[in-house]
Chain A
Amino acid sequence: MHIVDGALSPAVVIGGTALAVGGIALGLRSLTLERIPAAGVLSATFFVAALVHVPIGPSSVHLIMNGLAGLVLGWAAFPALFVGLVLQAVFFGFGGLTVLGVNTLNIALPAVLVWLLCRRGVTRSDARVAAVMGLIAGALAIILTALQVALVLWLSGDEFLPAAKLVVVAHLPVAVIEGLVCAAAVTLIHRVKPDLFGTLATPPRAA
């Protein structure tokens, strides 16, 4: 969910922006010269993945895939998803300008958190363990994102509390969908190119 300009309180916007800048700086540190092409093409892939719509009954939702982005990119998910949000805001008008930091934080922090949690699991040799880890990563990232969106709304004023609750409830089916799609994607990557999970998401020294 994109938050727009004007809804959040100044303190929340400034705090979120500061945290996002920190995350982006950390992510950029892991992006050596050798990794920038890979990060760029993967960032483009996640941008395209967000155009994929999944039908839910008569309606449809678009994929976010921030859990998978975290598994593949590690800390680099921060700058990669930030770039995606900048392009969406500037050329599609989704989201806003002053809230770019908050929106980046809402999408990228869960990505990094599920990476820290699941990075060992998805590289295990047992395909079923990897798939379950992918399921957890995909679903948990969406739940965390929804909770963060709700939190920044609530911190901006009690009058947003019903909207915040609604955001969390509305994202539960999305979490199920993302978890299953992420599990399938992890299964395929596990079978075809398992080192995809280690190429970018490790510190440069180990590469």
Chain B
Amino acid sequence: MSHRLQGTGAGARAPVAPGALDWAGRDRSDGRGIGSLDPRARILGAVAFAVVTVALSSLIALLLALALAAGALAAARLPAGPTLRRVAMMDGFILVMLVLLPFTVPGEPAFSVFGWPASWAGLERAAAIALKANAVVLMLLSLVGSMEPTTLGHALARLRCPESLVHLLLFTVRYIAVVEDQYRRLRRAMKARGFRPRTNGHTLRSLGYLIGMLLVRAMERSERILQAMKCRGFTGRLMLLDDLRYCRRDALFALMLLASLGLLVTVDALYVGLA
């Protein structure tokens, strides 16, 4: 899979030259769906959804949350395949932890594997974690991951994130593609000289030199960048050229989101009350 950093939304569907990053400000989808919403509303929405979802406890409410996230995925019109693959990769990371849980949470045994009893409580716990993790990641990818990375930086600046942190983010986003290009060039040069990664000391030393070289070049590049910026009178403020404005769509989105979160909390409270 490609690790190129770009919004998986409109940017990924538009024909982009290989290796080129697309820095158009807002999502260039045709003014409908999630792409037309204010980026700040999307960030705040994702955070609110994550906090509420993590706080839920009943599986019914969590299933609803996952359905909401799936709805957001559809509304963001992200390519479903690659997005779900990413979510599946995340699931792969936590699989071991989830599989262990039924055997470590004490409770009424549901079944046993090689004499190890698995408890209902543990199964429920594992299911809850899996649902929470998937719902939050899906919502995050749909609402925020569909933005251009620079838009994310600008929106964070407008949300009063510290300026130096936003600058750091914007610089990082800008130079990931450049450094990755450099990395690929160095890797190609190594390959041309017969380097094939294996489990041995030579591989580790070569990769270490490669990363060291990347860092040295990054540092030298940053010195040139600073000189070029000073030459143009950089005073420490990056101009944020966009003009974000809340409009009726954003209010509608906020209202819908609040209603959905209210529904989640209500269902959760009802279900827990009944149980």
Contacts and interface: CB of A to CB of B under 8 A. Distances in A.
A158 B169 CA distance: 37
A184 B212 CA distance: 8
A31 B168 contact: yes
Contacts of B266: none
A79 B149 CA distance: 17
Contacts of B50: 5, 96-98
B128 A6 contact: yes
A136 B174 CA distance: 32
A134 to B, nearest CB: 8
Interface of B: 3, 5-8, 46-47, 50-51, 53-55, 83, 86-87, 89-90, 93-94, 96-97, 100-101, 103-106, 122, 125, 128-129, 131-133, 136-137, 140-141, 144-145, 149, 152, 162, 164-165, 167-176, 178-180, 183, 197-199, 201, 203-216, 218-223, 225-226, 229, 234-236
8 A-B pairs closest in CB distance:
A40-B171, A184-B208, A6-B132, A188-B212, A185-B212, A4-B133, A44-B175, A38-B222
Nearest to B229: A37
A83 interface: yes
A43 B172 contact: yes
A5 B208 contact: no
Contacts of A80: 168, 172
Nearest to B140: A97
Given A159-B125, A180-B208, 4 more contacts: A87-B149, A93-B141, A187-B209, A199-B219
Interface in A29-57: 31, 33-34, 36-45, 47-49, 51-57
B15 to A, nearest CB: 20
Interface of A: 1-2, 4-7, 10, 13, 24-25, 28, 31, 33-34, 36-45, 47-49, 51-57, 63, 65, 68, 72, 79-80, 82-84, 86-87, 89-98, 153, 158-163, 166, 177, 180-189, 192-193, 196, 199
Contacts of B216: 188-189, 192-193, 196
Contacts of B140: 89-90, 93, 96-97
A90 B208 contact: no
14 contacts: A6-B131, A7-B133, A40-B222, A42-B222, A55-B199, A79-B164, A94-B86, A96-B137, A153-B97, A162-B100, A163-B97, A180-B205, A181-B205, A181-B211
Nearest to B103: A162
Contact of B133 (A31, A54, A96): A96
Interface of A is mostly: helix
Contacts, number: 263
Contacts of B170: 40
B204 to A, nearest CB: 4
B122 A51 contact: no
Nearest to A39: B168
A6 B133 contact: yes
A6 B214 contact: no
Contacts of A89: 137, 140
